[in-house]
């Protein structure tokens, strides 16, 4: 056994070995991306259903858009309900749009969003959503706001409405290099006249969180329980992901998403945006407080979805890059009934990326490593998926995926997938896994890969129990060029605490890039 462990770590070390280059040899490019927040008022088909349904729903969206040309862009978007009575309605999709100037700072903007998701399955059926819209946008110094006319269409169901929406947009500059330059080390030559990389890095934290929610007050379950709307007394086990970006040395903004894997029939999730501050910070220990506002719902009493979530805790920094955290908070629906005290812990990764010096101390890095990342979108087909209360059926899901290279051979893959066809609108899963890939062959056009993943799933009457799922896959990449590849994979998904045991095929497109990770 000792020999096997030694062999494994020796293999990993060899994979991490790389020649050191001069930073002036690294060709860079800037991606002028944008983050768009929009608000949509959607009229509901309340006269077409036999139960009480409020006539309007407030729908907010978070979209990250990437330019393809000066006037064409693509991206991905996430939407959720915050007013009405459809808390727990979440969607995920991809965007494709045009943006062109009309007069001075006024632009014409039109896009189409396609995805999947849902809340009340009786309204969305399979969950597919298509949302075309067009309007005017005013830009100034990269920031903008606009108004659009559109048509929210859950085309597999009866929920659809024309509308007027409003949005604000903030710039997001990303300095990158080609994916072919990934996993290399570069020394910084202070005499170089190349100023592209000599910029402040972005200080960020990514963390995986494990929380426990202790419902209190008038918290109740939804109509799927027997009896309906019974008081919630179970502890809910929650897993989530959070990204923090620092604005100053001790103040950060963050985005956070959670899904439940135990305590109720699977289906509860939440999404938050907020601000936090490190109130006491030493070399190894940091005390923080933060507050977020967002949306939550699914498997709880029908309400608007709008939720706020203050919390506090402390971190223990184990190394320059890794740490652990413990925290507690209060999760409360605004205008609803669900409330819970929370406690949990996190595994944290601290990063300085995109530049060669610390953004707040101006301390210069001595070495840079390029980190390979791939962004992908997939269509996923699952066959004969087990359900409760309705017949089994095939499911079609749309998925967004991020691959983070550990080295040239191994990687971590994370994905979020939402159903858009198969009479299970509202079903979604989030998974995390470890992958391995081969070298390219056949004139550098083909490579092979395999992944072992697990995560949480729920909604749409898919019989995943309390939500835990496991999914191994294997597949083939076809490399169109150094950065873009097509991929196809097959595998199996099953729920150890439910009855899902389904084969699947995934077909997708990936875009690879390299970012800079600073070292002291």
The residue ranges of every structural domain in the chain are 30-174, 202-293+307-353, 370-519
**CA angle at 408 for the pair 406 and 409, rounded to the nearest 5°:** 85
Q: Which residue is listed with tokens 């990449």?
A: 477
**Residue 13: predicted pLDDT:** 47
| The residue to which tokens 């812990």 are assigned | 345
First to last CA, the chain: 36
Query: What is the reported pLDDT for 60?
Result: 95
Pairing of strands 20-22, 185-187: parallel
Cβ atoms 403, 384 nearer than 8 A: no
Q: Read off the pTM.
A: 0.91
Q: Is the fold of 30-174 the same as that of 202-293+307-353?
A: yes
Burial, 263: exposed, middle or buried (Cβ in 10 Å; 0-12, 13-18, 19+)? buried
Q: Which two tokens stand for residue 97?
A: 């749009």
Residue 475 in tokens:
């597949």
Cα distance between residue 4 and residue 7, in whole Å: 5
Closest Cα to residue 397, out of 413, 414, 412, 377?
377
Residues in the chain: 520
Selected from 2.40.160.20, 3.90.120.10, 2.60.40.10, 2.40.110.10, the CATH number assigned to the domain covering 30-174 reads 2.40.160.20
What CA–CA distance (Å, rounded) separates 520 from 514? 19
Question: 195: which residues sit within 8 A by CB, 6+ positions away?
Answer: none
C-beta separation of 342 from 311 below 8 A: yes
Q: What is the pLDDT of residue 76?
A: 96
Greatest extent of the chain over all pairs of C-alpha atoms, in Å: 74
Burial class, 140, CB count within 10 angstroms (exposed 0-12 / middle 13-18 / buried 19+)? exposed
**Contact (CB, 8 A) for 221 and 300:** yes
User: What is the per-residue pLDDT for 190?
Assistant: 61
Q: What is the DSSP letter of 25?
A: G
Whole-number pLDDT of residue 354: 85
Strand partners, 346: 209, 325
For 370-519, CATH gives 2.40.160.20
What is the CATH T-level fold of the domain 202-293+307-353, as seen in this structure? Porin (2.40.160)
Radius of gyration of the chain from Cα atoms? Answer: 23
Q: What is the pLDDT of residue 24?
A: 79
Alpha helix segments (H runs only) across 258-305: none
pLDDT along the chain (520 residues), means of 10: 46 53 84 94 92 92 94 96 94 97 96 93 93 97 95 95 96 91 83 71 94 96 82 94 95 95 89 96 94 94 94 95 97 96 97 87 84 96 95 97 95 97 94 96 97 95 92 98 97 95 98 85
């Amino acid at each position: 056994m000792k020999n096997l462990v030694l062999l494994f770590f020796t293999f990993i070390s060899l994979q991490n070995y790389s020649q050191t280059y001069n930073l002036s040899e690294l060709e860079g490019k800037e991606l002028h991306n944008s983050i768009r927040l929009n608000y949509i008022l959607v009229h509901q088909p309340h006269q077409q259903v036999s139960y009480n349904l409020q006539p309007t729903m407030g729908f907010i969206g978070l979209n990250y858009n990437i330019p393809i040309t000066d006037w064409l862009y693509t991206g991905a978007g996430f939407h959720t309900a915050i007013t009405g009575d459809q808390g727990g309605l979440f969607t995920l999709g991809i965007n494709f749009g045009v943006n062109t100037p009309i007069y001075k700072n006024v632009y014409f903007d039109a896009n189409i969003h396609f995805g999947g998701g849902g809340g009340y399955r009786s309204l969305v059926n399979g969950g597919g959503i298509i949302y075309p819209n067009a309007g005017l946008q005013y830009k100034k110094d990269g920031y903008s706001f606009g108004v659009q006319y559109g048509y929210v269409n859950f085309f597999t169901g009866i929920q659809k409405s024309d509308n007027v929406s409003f949005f604000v947009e903030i710039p997001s500059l990303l300095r990158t290099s080609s994916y072919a330059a990934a996993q290399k080390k570069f020394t910084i030559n202070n005499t170089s006249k190349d100023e592209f990389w000599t910029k402040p890095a972005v200080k960020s934290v990514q963390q995986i969180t494990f929380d426990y929610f202790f419902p209190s007050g008038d918290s109740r379950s939804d109509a799927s329980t027997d009896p309906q709307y019974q008081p919630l007394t179970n502890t809910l086990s929650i897993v989530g992901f959070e990204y923090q970006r620092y604005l100053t040395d001790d103040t950060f903004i963050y985005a956070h998403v959670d899904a439940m894997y135990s305590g109720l029939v699977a289906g509860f999730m939440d999404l938050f945006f907020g601000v936090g501050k490190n109130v006491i910070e030493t070399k190894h220990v940091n005390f923080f407080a933060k507050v977020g506002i967002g949306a939550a719902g699914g498997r709880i009493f029908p309400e608007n979805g709008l939720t706020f979530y203050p919390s506090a805790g402390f971190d223990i920094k184990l190394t320059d890059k890794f740490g652990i955290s413990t925290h507690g908070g209060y999760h409360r629906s605004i205008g609803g009934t669900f409330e819970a005290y929370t406690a949990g812990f996190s595994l944290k990764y601290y990063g300085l990326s995109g530049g060669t010096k610390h953004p707040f101390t101006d301390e210069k890095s001595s070495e840079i490593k390029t980190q390979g990342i791939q962004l992908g979108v997939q269509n996923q087909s699952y066959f004969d998926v087990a359900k409760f209360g309705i017949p089994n059926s095939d499911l079609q899901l749309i998925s967004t995926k991020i691959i983070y290279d550990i080295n040239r051979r191994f990687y971590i893959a994370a994905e979020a997938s939402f159903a858009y066809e198969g009479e299970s609108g509202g079903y979604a899963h989030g998974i995390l896994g470890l992958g391995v890939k081969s070298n390219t062959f056949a004139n550098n056009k083909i490579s092979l890969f395999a992944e072992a993943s697990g995560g949480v799933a729920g909604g749409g009457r898919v019989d995943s129990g309390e939500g835990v799922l496991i999914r191994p896959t294997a597949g083939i990449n076809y490399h169109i060029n150094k950065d873009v590849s097509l991929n196809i994979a097959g595998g199996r998904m099953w729920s150890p605490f439910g009855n899902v045991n389904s084969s699947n095929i995934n077909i997708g497109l990936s875009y690879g890039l390299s970012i800079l990770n600073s070292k002291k």
